[in-house]
Each structure stands twice: as structure tokens, then as C-alpha cells.
Homo-oligomer: A and B are copies of this chain.
Amino acid sequence: MENFSFQNPVKLIMGKGTIASLKDEIPSDKKIMITFGGGSVKKNGVYDQVKAALSGHNTIEFWGIEPNPAIETLRKAIALGKEEKVDFLLAVGGGSVIDGTKLISAGLKYEGDAWDLVLKGASYDCVPLGTVLTLPATGSEMNNGAVISRHETKEKFAFYSKYPVFSILDPEVTYSLPAHQIACGLADTFVHVMEQYLTKTGQSRVMDRWAEGILQTLIEIAPKIRENQQDYTLMSDFMLSATMGLNGFIALGVEQDWATHMIGHELTALHGLTHGETLAMVLPGTMSVLREQKGDKIIQFGERVMGVSSGLRESRINETIKRTEEFFRSLGLRTRLSEAGIGTETIDEIERRFNERHVHFGEDSLVDGATAKKILTQVL
């Protein structure tokens, strides 16, 4: 076990009808800006529930935070919030709305252009933020991270701010989600857990079991969700898995990887692919190219999660990688770059970007431009 310091102050409020608790969670003297995505919350009843809960509060609305939230949009929200002297933010949406609102929360306290904060990587002087989650996927509702894009330069970077004060998770809001969004949410959660798990064996028995527990849950519920997306227990399991997958609970004292994410971000930045789908494409490549370093953990993962419990070492590793890709395909996701029309030019561009930034991602800092190229070529 590595030394660690852990603290996660988010108040998690989960269950049927919990959006109504908003009225008690936000002080009534606050000027609230509620941030939204594209408008699905007006169809599924979430918007009405939020407005009803906050009927006694002073609120304004900002609409249009897009998937992979862009600095170009967030600048407008920050300008509006400053003008209206907003002192509380409520993000109502999926990970993109929450991520974008994290940058707004820091931007409201910053004089200059908020892209400075993204380039700096973090800012902890923030307006308090609560969230109502509508799409289980990113875990942003219970962590302090965000990913912000810049369209004009096709860049996408991580940014850290304060944790949300509270997050409200009502599993019933997921009943009407499009199947593709659920598939991407399942894949995103799966890979979040893998980034914290698939490094080395023997670091922490408890953390290994907890990561495996989420992975086992995802594999068990995925086909059932396709059959019935309106089963409360199933959707609760999905929603809780997504939150627990990236709130630090499974990362105590263990190494982390995140190379798959870093490569996936580039695919999104360059081609606009959904985040979850990029991960489904890249992860099998990462496992295959780094099989020397990750071999023991791949074997453990195969045995405990994927049902691969016999055979020679190399064939077990191959079978486990194959079943991982099959899991993503069973969700209805593409797992090959060529299926999205992505070819060697993109691979070369990502190699060039990684080399230019001198990056060395992964638990052993092995993923530079050349390794990223190998990984992507593997899943072409």
C-alpha cells in the first residue's frame, strides 16, 4: 500500500423523490444559477421537479452546456453569473454539465479568462456548487475533477476545483435515457474502475475486491438494463456504480493508470467521439500493448471478473482482453477506430501531440507518443 491522504466531503442524497430535498440543501438567501445541457430535462420531468423544489429561491438559468463542455460556452455562463452576482451554482445534468459548472464555479471568482485556470490545472477559490445528476457515467458528482474542451484549438484538458457541496441522485431520472447514453455510461464507469485497478497486484486486497465488485456489477446489470431500463434496483446499481467508480473510494493507497483516458480525450478532441466510446476503443489496446507490465493484474481480473480461470499465461491474457472487448461490443459500442472512420493520420497526430507535450502517462510512466501509437494501431 502506498501512503495516502483521502477526504471526500460531498453529501450524497440518493433515492426516489430526492430532488425535492433541494429546498433544504441550498440556503434561501442565495442567488442561484441553475445550469443545464440541451433540454432533455424538460421532457423527463427533472426540470419541473427542480423548479418546484426551488420555488421559494432566487434563481436564474443558463442553458446549453454541451457534451465535452467547451470554454467558449462556459465563458458566457461566467459572464452572466458575474453580472447577476450569483453565489450558488446548481448543475442539473450529466457529467458534462457538472464538469462545465465546476469551471464556472472557479471562473466566477477569477478576474481573467477562465481558460487560464484550465491551463493552470486547478483553482480552489470557488462559488459553492450542488448537482442533480441525470446521467450516470463520469462520477463528476462526487469528485473534484472536470474535463474542459476548447473547440478552436481542438484541445481537451483536466481541471480540478472544489467538490460539490451535495449531489442528488434519483435513479428514476435514468428511465428515459437513450440506450446509447446508457451504453457509454456503463463503458465510462467500467474504464474508470479499470484505470484505478489494472496496474499491479498485491497492493491492497480491499481495494482490489471493491474495484472487482463494481466491475462484476456492471457485467451483471448491463444485459438486464437492455431488457428493462425501468427496473429501480438495476438503475440504482448502475447509478451507484458510476458514482463509486470515481469518488476516490476504490483508489486508497493504490497506483493509478489513466493512460487510456488520456488517449481517449484526444480522440474526442479530434473527432468529437463520445467519451465512453473512445474508452471502449482504447482500453483493449492498452491491455494488449502493456501486457508485460500489467500481466499479473490482467490474470487476476480475468479470473475474478471475466471467468477466465485456466490455461497458459499468454492465452489467459489474450482471452481476458478478448472478453473485455466483447463486453464493450455487447453494450452496442464500436471498439475499433476504423469503425469510426479514424485512420493512421489521427494516430500520427496523437503521437505528435504526446511527443510535443513530453507526456509519460500510466502507473509506470510508459505511455509516451510511441506507446500511444502502438496502442492505437492495435485497435485500428
Binding site for B on A (CB under 8 A): 1-18, 21, 171, 202-210, 212-214, 216-217, 220-221, 232-233, 236-237, 240-241, 244, 249, 252-253
Chain B residues with CB under 8 A of A205: 216-217, 220-221, 237
Contact of A13 among B5, B17, B18, B233 (CB under 8 A): B5
By the criterion CB–CB under 8 Å, are B217 and A213 in contact? no
Q: Can you spell out 10 A-B residue pairs with CB atoms less than 8 angstroms apart?
A: A5-B13, A5-B14, A9-B9, A14-B252, A202-B233, A204-B237, A205-B220, A205-B237, A209-B212, A210-B210
Find out whether the CB atom of B11 lies under 8 angstroms from the CB atom of A5: yes
Given contacts A7-B12, A253-B14, contact A1 B216 (CB under 8 A): no
Inter-chain contacts of A9 with B (CB < 8 A): 7, 9
Which of B15, B202, B209 sits near A217, CB closer than 8 Å? Answer: B209
Q: Assess whether B220 is in contact with A216, with CB atoms less than 8 Å apart.
A: no
Q: In the complex the two chains form, what is the Cα distance from A249 to B6 in whole Å? A: 14
Are B240 and A1 in contact (CB-based, < 8 A)?
yes
| Pair A14/B3 contact, Cβ less than 8 Å | yes
The answer, among B6, B14, B212, B253, for a CB contact under 8 Å with A213, is B212
A233 contact set on B, CB distance < 8 A: 1, 202-204
Interface centre among A7, A206, A214, A236 (most CB of B within 10 A): A206
A1-B171, A15-B2 in contact; A209/B216 too (CB < 8 A)? yes
Chain B positions within 8 Å of A202 at CB level = 233
Q: How far is the CA of A150 from the CA of B205 in the complex (A)?
A: 39
Nearest B residue to A171 by beta-carbon distance? B1
- A1: chain B residues at CB < 8 Å are 14-15, 171, 232-233, 236-237, 240
Q: How far is the CA of A249 from the CA of B1 in the complex (A)?
A: 20
Could you tell me the distance between the alpha carbons of A217 and B204 in the complex, rounded to whole angstroms? 9
Q: Which residues of B contact A5 (CB under 8 A)?
A: 11-14, 21
Which chain B residue lies CB-closest to A217? B205
- B212 and A206 form a contact (CB under 8 A): no
State the 9 A-B residue pairs at the shortest beta-carbon distance, nearest first: A3-B15, A209-B213, A1-B236, A7-B11, A205-B217, A6-B12, A205-B237, A5-B13, A9-B9
Highest count of chain B CB atoms <10 Å: which of A13, A15, A205, A212: A205
Given contacts A12-B5, A18-B3, contact A206 B241 (CB under 8 A): yes
A12, B213: Cα distance in complex, Å:
22
Partner of A6, one of B11, B207, B217, B220: B11
Besides A3-B14, A6-B12, A240-B253, 11 other A-B contacts (C-beta < 8 A): A1-B232, A4-B12, A4-B14, A6-B13, A6-B14, A14-B252, A14-B253, A206-B217, A206-B240, A212-B213, A213-B213
Docked CA distance A171–B15 (Å): 37
CA distance A205 to B236 in the complex (A): 9
Question: In the complex, how many angstroms separate the beta carbon of A240 from the nearest chain B beta carbon?
Answer: 5
Closest to A10 in B: B7
Q: How far is the CA of A18 from the CA of B212 in the complex (A)?
A: 29
